[in-house]
Chains A and B, each alone.
Chain A
Amino acid sequence: MEILQYTLRKLVTGIPLIFGVTLISFTLMVHYGPDKTYDLLGKNPTQEQITEVRHQLGYDQTFVVRYTQYLQELATMNFGYSDSSGEKVSSILIRTMPVSLALILPGFVLGNLLGIILALISAYHRGYWIDKVIMGVSVMGMSVSFLIVIIAFQVIFSSSKGLDLFPVRGWDVYSFTDYIHYVTVPTLASIFVSLGYNTRFYRAVIVEEMGRDHVRTAKAFGAHPIELLFKSVLKNSLIPIITRIMFSIPLVVISGSLLLESYFGIPGVGKVTYDAIISGDQPILKAVVGLTAIMFVFTLIINDILYKVVDPRISLK
């Protein structure tokens, strides 16, 4: 009951955020976005036809009217049809979102897991050579551009000039082996770029935790290293770790896969969104931006609830 009340209250406070995100995105992407009129017109159009298309796209309406319409669409979750293909926006999203998730998730999970493991090793051997090596490599990993990693990995693993082990592009997945086949190279690339950041972040968190008195005492009394790490350190570091992971989720789902999807030709939501930005397909943009904002608010709420689960001392008030 308490949790329910808390959730409702949080939902209400999330409304200004949704309002702000939609307002800014609407202004930038819809109001000032690319003009689709001439894409939809035939050759040698008359002024009359131009006016008609602009009218059908809603360009002739005032900002306030269009924004209000958008909020209505968001409230009813009815985003209409794509301006390019005429397909229902909801069916486009239902088709592409699972692909993006399936693409990004292994890299995300493994990137964080490996980050935590390396951070634990590094923190435990703080100041020794192994720590220095891990940290040095992390900085190097952080210094490589994602784009360079993608290009290089595609050449190394997929192209006929390299190992030629995996497909260069596409997403023809209909079994688990296919899935592994298509997801490996993008996953390796995303682990490579995120690992440095993750390791450093988690190491900082863990080192701070290890500096606490009870951990130092336990260490001094010769507690088993693994047990020590899991029992005392990891447990108490859980809050910052959860926060970091939770907050990456909405962004990972939408934009994290943009580069991977466009470079590997994977039909996920990131690519669809980017194409929509380029072509000015406003119904899709409105849906994606609105849903991201809502997801963000939900993340905030779930995050707070998770805090409570992890550490019952935190009050829900």
Chain B
Amino acid sequence: MVNILLQNFKWLNGLLLFMVAMSLAGCNAAVDIDKALEGHLKGPAKIYRHSLRGAPSSLDPVNAATVYSNFIIVNIYDTLYRYKYLARPYEIVPNLAVDMPEVSDDGLIYTIKIKKEVFYADDPAFLNGKGREVIAEDLIYSIKRHFDVSNRSQGSWLWDGKIVGLNEWKDAGSNYNQTIQGLKAVDSHTIQITLFKPYPQLTHTFAMGFSALVPHEAVDYYGREFSVHPVGSGPFKMLRYESSNYALMIRNIKYRQEPIDLSFEGYDPKLHKQYGIDKIAGKSPPLVDALKIDFIKESASKWASFTKGNEINFSGVPVEQVDQILTQKKPTLILTPEMSEKYHMFHTIEAGFVHTDFNMRDPLIGYNDDPIRDKRNKKLRCAIRSAFDWKERNDVFYSGIAVEYPGIIPPVVPEFDPHLSNISTLRNVDEAKRMMLEGDWTKDNVPTLVYGGAASVSTRQIYEQFRGWMKDIGFPEEKVVFDSYASFGDFNKAMKEAKIMIIGSGWILDYPDAQNTLQLFYGPYGSPGSNNSNYNNPEYNRLYEQTSTMLPSKERTQLYRKMNNIVIDDCVSITGLSRDNIFLWHKSVISYPDSGIVGGFHLKFVDMLDEEGK
């Protein structure tokens, strides 16, 4: 009998042992930065811990489609161009390229020289594990990869149909030994690109992660897992990467020595001295020994980790905290004293915007073969837009610090028109009711509005707010419904198949040129393209095509603004709002963060003060 008791305890003991063993196994899966860095760095290390509010899906440059992927990729890999660290508006400058491209007079031939003696980081993928020199062929190889169907490129749209011979190369079966007429290496360090017609944004595409220079050895060596084993010539080298959890990088000791010229980067003592930026002058990036980036989706968790002090050094401010950390919101944001004592703050308008589109392919609200109904639908759309309250949207969901503006050219691009009438963003219930009356719409004959979105608390709240506004202009409650999709993938699919009537969406700019947002309403880009509203206006399309080959100029800006007005007049989209991102970082860090165009490029300039504050 006693041995039963004993047996029982043995059993429990076993379980406890098992539990401890498992917990230790669990430890191995996590990371001890110091331990991980051991043997890689000498002496006390400067470790900067950044955070992102989402995780990259893939680190293969052909899939650098998300902000997060791009953010990491530009730190591991080199791109030909980058954006100045401090200058705003954003200015593109050479990175791996020696200079800005030499462009022929007709705008069709680009010649780009790349720096010599730049090496890939050491990796088992290379012969003897030593990274070799970066050559012009690497860029060509990296672009070719986008046109190799087996890579499922997400960036081929950047060069599709633009470079002579590239599409033919793809159609001929993507043989990497075959040369391409319009994409060739003149010598080991000179690239020549020939275009069909001028493409003013081409240089910008070489500042995107998509165009990062990839060594073919690593692609061959890692195969499918290349996407989690990045090997590049950028400022950092990946040490450990857990997708959806964190990335731990160390300084690439072979990174080229290029002392920082602050005035070149756009240093302005009035703006930047407060962050201690002057201290990095003359140093050569990267300035920290290790860089850990945590991917934290839950804003509360991120905030808690940031305020702990010994965890992440950088955080955006979650909307629900904004009111608690600020003493003043207008005209400028001011931190509470206790916050400003501990943290640096910088805020900037995002390189993107939020808008709500009508699906013009839906005859209930968009284009209709019946010309009378077509006109009535326009009245209905304009009425809905007038009932829409951007100010309240801003107050409720963005703490009232976002920027509301008319049309589809956001404030972050140089073509933005600050003098454009903002009447289309203002709520005007009387006007909306008048439109309904003009269009002969009553509560009995209005179509049921279907607001589509991926199931999440905030999307549902945004819909509920929208429903409230629609009720104010006479829509019965049951005629404003929410079409919730269980996943973003399903929502995206429905959107790309033009099945959603009213689409709440956002856009993040790929480069600082309004062309990037104007293409969202270009007819031929209708679903499954980026034009989710399926807007198709011949005049607009003509202007888009005309401007697409124009270099930046006053004339082009005029045409851009004309296109902007066409979209506003047709009531195809309810626009717009750009969020104001607030960044906070610990006082021990010297940084000027950016989440948009400069994005990941800023990390190599980040430095940490040592204990004496130097």
Contacts and interface: CB of A to CB of B under 8 A. Distances in A.
B355 interface: no
A314 B24 CA distance: 37
Interface stretch (B15-23, B334-342, B411-419, B583-591): B15-23
Contacts of B487: 34, 277-280
Given A56-B152, A102-B25, 8 more contacts: A43-B530, A109-B19, A169-B304, A172-B30, A174-B27, A174-B35, A230-B8, A231-B1
Interface stretch (B121-129, B177-185, B238-246): B238-246
**For chain A, which range describes its interface: under 10, 10 to 19, 20 to 34, or 35 or more residues?**
35 or more
Contacts of A88: 224-225
Contacts of A27: none
8 contacts: A34-B487, A42-B154, A43-B157, A86-B228, A105-B22, A159-B304, A174-B35, A267-B244
Contacts of A172: 30-31
Nearest to B150: A56
Most buried by B among A52, A53, A86, A264: A86
A53 B489 CA distance: 14
Which 7 A-B pairs rank lowest in CB-CB distance, beginning with the nearest? A102-B26, A86-B227, A169-B301, A174-B32, A168-B304, A42-B154, A98-B25
B243 A87 contact: yes
A234 interface: yes
Interface string B131-154: 000000000000000000110111
Contact of B26 (A52, A53, A101): A101
A230 B26 contact: no
Contacts, number: 181
Interface in B454-507: 486-490, 492-493, 496
Specify the main secondary structure of chain A where it touches its partner: helix
A127 to B, nearest CB: 27
B228 A87 contact: yes
A141 interface: no
A96 B152 CA distance: 27
A173 B27 contact: yes
Contacts of B519: 44
Given A235-B4, A272-B244, A103 B26 contact: yes
Interface string A181-197: 00100000000000000
A153 interface: no
B350 interface: no
A39 B57 CA distance: 10
B296 A179 contact: no
A87 B227 contact: yes
A137 to B, nearest CB: 24
A170 B35 CA distance: 18
Given A35-B489, A179-B26, A95 B307 contact: no
Interface in A100-133: 101-103, 105-106, 109, 113
B27 A34 contact: no
A277 B455 CA distance: 14
Contact of A231 (B5, B27, B304): B5
Contacts of A35: 489-490, 493
Interface in B543-584: none
Contacts of B539: none
Interface string B507-529: 00000000000010000010011
B301 A101 contact: no
B155 interface: yes
A7 interface: no
A170 B489 CA distance: 26
Contacts of B245: 267
A23 to B, nearest CB: 22
A169 B305 contact: yes
Contacts of A44: 157, 519, 525, 529-530
A208 interface: no
B156 interface: yes
B301 A265 contact: yes
B152 A40 contact: yes
A101 B149 CA distance: 40
A243 interface: no
A292 interface: no
B445 interface: no
B158 to A, nearest CB: 8
B1 A42 contact: no
A41 interface: yes
Specify the main secondary structure of chain B where it touches its partner: helix
A31 interface: no
A158 B4 CA distance: 41
B298 A278 contact: no
A86 B22 contact: no
A76 interface: no
B525 A81 contact: no
Contacts of B207: none
Contact of A52 (B8, B149, B296): B149
A25 interface: no
Interface of A: 34-46, 49-50, 52-53, 56, 81-82, 84-88, 92, 95-96, 98-99, 101-103, 105-106, 109, 113, 158-160, 167-176, 178-179, 183, 230-231, 234-235, 263-265, 267, 271-272, 275, 277-280
Given A102-B25, A168-B304, A41 B489 contact: no
A192 B32 CA distance: 31
A230 B301 CA distance: 45
A52 B154 CA distance: 13
Interface in B86-123: none
A99 B26 contact: yes
Contacts of A92: 243
A86 B155 contact: no
Most buried by B among A159, A230, A264, A272: A230
B332 interface: no
A34 B156 CA distance: 24
Nearest to A236: B4
A160 to B, nearest CB: 7
Interface in B142-198: 149-150, 152-157, 160
A45 B157 contact: yes
Contacts of A277: 487
Contact of B19 (A95, A105, A158, A271): A105
Most buried by A among B30, B35, B157: B30
Contacts of B492: 38-39
B166 to A, nearest CB: 14
Contacts of A280: 487, 489
Contacts of B529: 43-45
Given A35-B489, A86-B60, A179-B27, A50 B304 contact: no
A235 to B, nearest CB: 5
Interface in B24-72: 24-32, 35, 57-58, 60, 63, 65
B304 A85 contact: no
B272 to A, nearest CB: 31
B260 interface: no
